[in-house]
Amino acid sequence: MTAIAFEKVSLTFGKRRILSGVSFSIPEGLFVGVLGPNGAGKTTLMRAVLGLVTPQSGRIGVLGQPPRRGNPQIGYMPQMRRGAAQLGLSGFELVLGAVGGTRWGWPLTSKADKEAAWSALERVGAADLAKRPISQLSGGERQRVLIAQALIGEPKLLLLDEPLASLDPAHQRGVVELVQDIARERRISVLFCAHEINPLLRALDQVLYLGNGRAAIGAVDEVVNRHVLSDLYRTPIHVARINGRIFVMAEEGELESHRHDEDGAA
Ligand SMILES: Nc1ncnc2c1ncn2[C@@H]1O[C@H](COP(=O)(O)OP(=O)(O)OP(=O)(O)O)[C@@H](O)[C@H]1O
């Protein structure tokens, strides 16, 4: 079955066009990195898959169905906003709030709900963090709790919006490996949104690059080359591979933000 299918999809906000007639199809079980500069539409694409943004035209299929809000087959990890971290919730409360998929807040919880929350926290290695307020966790610890939240309901598709933001290279590797292991063992399809390709290289089956309202998708070598990216961004793009790392550069500078501190990511 197809995990996600876009057929000539256009997404707009008012007069602002985010995607223009984009088509692609992602088979089930793949780990796909979603890349592109700030504002390219990565979050908006995920929100469309979740049924939170309706296309102006075209069709989206998610696991063979049209998108619908609260689909329990999808686990979503949004970008962590400061406000959410400061709510004072513990990791356990945050994960428990996701039990039942759409029942955000403080539901009346059963023993089974609590067990589901503990099981998700244990799977990401965060059971010992569960009682602490989210606001006191380190970035890496917090990302684990958020991944646990996305695993509630045994999803078939995980949408992860920048889980690597503000993590150092070792923690980035840890999060990517964790997601890859869980996805393999549960046969989950993954869309993993990131600002840099290198931390994802070992895990990637495909990349989906967004830019100028368009998309390029395929295996890393098929997409991350100067022909495809120059065409996508309508400007000369250079791609260099150094020691197994990939550098994507526009004439005026690097297209992706890189921290030059990771050794041997690929
Ligand atoms: N609800 C909204 N109303 C109007 N414009 C929006 C809305 N949500 C997003 N946008 C705009 O759509 C564009 C794409 O935003 P989006 O957050 O999807 O990009 P992104 O690729 O995820 O960016 P980043 O890498 O910075 O997170 C941006 O210009 C943004 O300002």
What is the reported pTM?
Answer: 0.89
DSSP 97-137: HTTTSS--S-----HHHHHHHHHHHHHTT-GGGTTSBGGGS
- Residues ≥6 apart with Cβ < 8 Å to 204: 31, 32, 33, 197, 220
Using most ligand atoms within 8 A of CB, pick from 42, 46, 257 the residue to mutate for ligand 1: 42
Q: Say what percent of the chain tops pLDDT 70.
A: 88
* Ligand 1 atom 27: residue of nearest CA: 38
pLDDT band (50, 70, 90) for residue 93? confident
Instruction: Report the mean per-residue pLDDT for the chain.
Output: 88
Pick from 5, 41, 45: nearest CA to 26 = 5
**Cα-to-centroid distance, 48 and ligand 1 (Å):** 12
How does pLDDT run across 163-185, given as a tens digit for each residue? 998 899 999 999 999 999 999 99
- Local structure of residue 151 (DSSP, 8 states): H
* Ligand 1 atom 25: residue of nearest CA: 38
- Residues ≥6 apart with Cβ < 8 Å to 14: none
Assess: ipTM above 0.90: yes
Q: Name the token pair of 163.
A: 């889980």
